[in-house]
Amino acid sequence: MIEIFAPAKINLALHVRAKRDDGYHELDTIFAFANIGDKISGQLSSKLSMEVHGPFGPELMQITSTEDNLIMRAARKLREKYNISLGADIILEKALPIGAGIGGGSADAAAAIKLLVKIWNIDAKDTDLLDVGASLGADIPICLKGQACRATGIGDIFHDVDISGLHEIHILLVNPLIHLATQHVFANWDGKDAGALIYGSAYENAQRGCNNLTPAAIKLCPIINDILNSLNNRDNILTRMSGSGATCFGLYHDFESCDAARIMMEQKFPNMWIRAGKII
């Protein structure tokens, strides 16, 4: 059995710049990952199958059939592209909330691609795998890359950026357990270009940037505003929403401040999904 971690994707800054003719939006974003995520494991088999477990497993099975799961879609694409007749038994441990702006499905698809490349012993070029990922979702290429960076295009053109200091940062994720559909949030964007992220390092871009999908997400899910206000205090480096929401995050220099914020948020919002971890 091989196991691959599928970490939550965090947009430390997300600048939506323009709507393209194909309906997608040009972005400028700083991606990072947290040590909080799903787990995908699997082994070689004659058929392709998947099981879903974990706290968000039942919800995922209710809204998405196994065949439509991004993991199975990625597996079928790989089999077609590399002419593979083997199968695999895949197990997803779903720990990330669904439709949460932290790329859960994208992280799973990327982890499944990595897993199956190993199980099926595929001699694949990284660029070809990125193409397979991109054909399934805008966030999958960055989840395949799995490293903090700046991205433009629809989030698929990567730029080197100084990421020093990021790995020491503690992060608190807070999700109200309200599913926000990415396309609805984009449809409510105010159309104002937030500009390019040209402030230097990833850390500086995070501090000086913003997430200009936040007003659109708050319109659809007003409690995001309460979460952001509660997270925002003098002990943290930054408070922001990730992606199209509704997950918000606080960044902290040390474990103690992050843990104190976790306890405070758990008392205030006992029914929300709240996790403390680190940027990886």
Ligand X SMILES: Nc1ncnc2c1ncn2[C@@H]1O[C@H](COP(=O)(O)OP(=O)(O)OP(=O)(O)O)[C@@H](O)[C@H]1O
Ligand Y SMILES: C[C@](O)(CO)[C@H](O)COP(=O)(O)OP(=O)(O)OC[C@H]1O[C@@H](n2ccc(N)nc2=O)[C@H](O)[C@@H]1O
Residue 131 catalytic? no
In this structure, the dihedral spanned by the alpha carbons of residues 173, 174, 175 and 180, taken in order and rounded to 10 degrees, is: -70
Q: Would you say 40 is a known binding-site residue? A: no
How many angstroms separate the CA atoms of 40 and 72, rounded? 12
Integer Cα distance of 47 and 88 in angstroms: 6
104 is in an annotated binding site: yes
Site for ligand X in 97-156 (CB under 6 A): 98-106, 108, 139
Is cis: bond before 246, omega within 30 of 0? yes
Closest approach of ligand X to the CB of residue 98, in Å: 4
Segment 220 to 249, residues that bind ligand Y, using CB under 6 A: 243-244
CA 96 distance to own-chain centroid:
9
Q: Residues 145 to 184: which contact ligand Y by CB under 6 A?
A: 154-155, 182-183
Rounded distance between C-alpha atoms, residue 1 and residue 89, angstroms: 9
Partner interacting with residue 64 (select from ligand X, ligand Y, none; CB below 5-8 Å by kind): ligand X
Kindly write out the interface string for residues 8-37 of this chain, putting x where it contacts ligand Y by CB under 6 A and - elsewhere.
---x--x--------xxx-x-x--------
Active site residue 9: yes
Q: β-strands 87-93, 48-53: how paired?
A: parallel
Record the tokens describing residue 134, joined without a space: 């991109």
Of residues 180 and 265, the one with the C-beta less far from ligand Y: 180
Helix (H, G, I), strand (E, B) or coil at 26: strand
103 carries a ligand binding annotation: yes
The CA-CA-CA angle for residues 182, 206, 242, to 5°, reads 20
Distance in Å, CB of 280 to ligand Y, minimum: 17
Residue 145 three-state SS: helix
Among 60, 161, 171, 216, binds ligand X (CB under 6 A): 60
Q: What would the x/- binding string for ligand Y be over residues 82 to 101, using CB under 6 A? A: -------------------x
Label the pairing between strands 25-45 and 149-152: antiparallel
Instruction: Point out which residues pair with 28 in neighbouring strands.
Output: 15
Residue in 9, 77, 114, 145 annotated catalytic: 9
**In the complex, minimum distance from the CB of residue 131 to ligand Y, in angstroms, rounded to a whole number:** 14
Footprint of ligand Y (CB under 6 A): 11, 14, 23-25, 27, 29, 101, 106, 137-139, 154-155, 182-183, 186, 243-244
Provide the annotated active-site residues: 9, 139
Known binding-site positions for ATP? 97-107
